[in-house]
């Protein structure tokens, strides 16, 4: 009886199984197909976050620089201030106003109450010229403070019309005197430059006249 020769078949099958096993072993896991897109998405998110962080940093540094540069050379402490003239002009200091009582009134073009009281301050400043200094200070401005002041003839009637500097919103002196976000506010100094009191809110002719009489002993015709 002749013997079967399974050698070639067995060897071929073994070879086929070996190749199949090798192919199965070298085949990447199913999850690897998603690694590339996920990695790219992570990289894009990381790049986006980096760009946003850089923009925020630049904006922060820029605002800090502008806030610093706008107040360079000026002083905004309540007891010893020096501010630029609104619209351009010489610096005015509290020390230069000593010898007469000084009223410092803060205003902004967006403030409706300011628009109501500024004619009263302008009139009293003109009536008290040489006896009481009336200084108008534009603070927290988001519009055109210069045009607003001209509308009420503050440059002609007030002792000085100034621009607040420093602080968080161009309100360094305003903040030093206790101001927050409410306008108008008025500060009253004696003839030696010492702060007497501050008032938040508007004045009409009667209440401002009463305040000036009470603090300085001066009468303003109503």
Token reading at 44: 């894009």
Are 180 and 83 in the same domain? yes
Burial call 104-128: b when 16+ CB within 10 Å, e when fewer: bbbbbbebeebbebbebbbbbbebb
Tell me: the pLDDT tens digits for 154-182?
999 999 999 999 998 999 999 999 998 89
d(CA 207, CA 189): 18
Tell me: the pLDDT tens digits for 47-101?
665 655 544 343 433 334 334 334 678 999 999 999 999 999 899 999 999 999 9
Token reading at 99: 């010898």
User: Residue 141's closest CA among 172, 169, 117?
Assistant: 169
Are 105 and 161 in the same domain? yes
> Does pLDDT of 142 surpass 90?
yes
Is 222 within a domain?
A: no
- Indicate which CATH number applies to the domain containing 137: 3.40.30.10
Q: What is the predicted pLDDT for the residue at 45?
A: 67
Is 221 within a domain?
A: no
Domain boundary among 72, 103, 121: 72
Residue 105: helix, strand or coil by DSSP? strand
* Containing structural domain, residue 23: 1-72
d(CA 158, CA 137): 10
Q: Confirm whether pTM is higher than 0.85.
A: no
């Amino acid at each position: 009886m002749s013997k079967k020769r399974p050698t070639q078949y067995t060897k071929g099958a073994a070879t086929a199984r070996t190749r199949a096993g090798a192919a199965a072993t070298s085949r990447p896991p199913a999850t690897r197909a998603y690694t590339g897109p996920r990695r790219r998405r992570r990289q894009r998110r990381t790049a986006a976050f980096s760009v946003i962080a850089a923009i925020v940093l630049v904006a922060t540094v820029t605002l800090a620089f502008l806030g610093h540069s706008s107040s360079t050379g000026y002083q905004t402490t309540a007891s010893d201030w020096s501010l630029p003239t609104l619209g351009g002009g010489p610096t005015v200091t509290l020390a230069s106003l000593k010898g007469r009582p000084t009223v410092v009134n803060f205003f902004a073009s967006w403030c409706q109450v300011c628009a109501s009281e500024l004619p009263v301050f302008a009139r009293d400043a003109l009536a008290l010229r040489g006896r009481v200094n009336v200084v108008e200070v534009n603070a927290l401005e988001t519009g055109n403070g210069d045009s607003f002041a001209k509308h009420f003839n503050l440059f002609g009637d007030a002792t000085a019309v100034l621009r607040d500097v420093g602080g968080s919103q161009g309100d360094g002196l305003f903040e030093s005197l206790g101001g927050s976000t409410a306008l108008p506010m008025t500060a009253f100094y004696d003839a030696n430059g010492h702060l007497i009191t501050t008032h938040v809110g508007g004045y009409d002719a009667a209440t401002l006249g009463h305040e000036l009489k009470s603090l300085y002993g001066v009468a303003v015709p109503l």
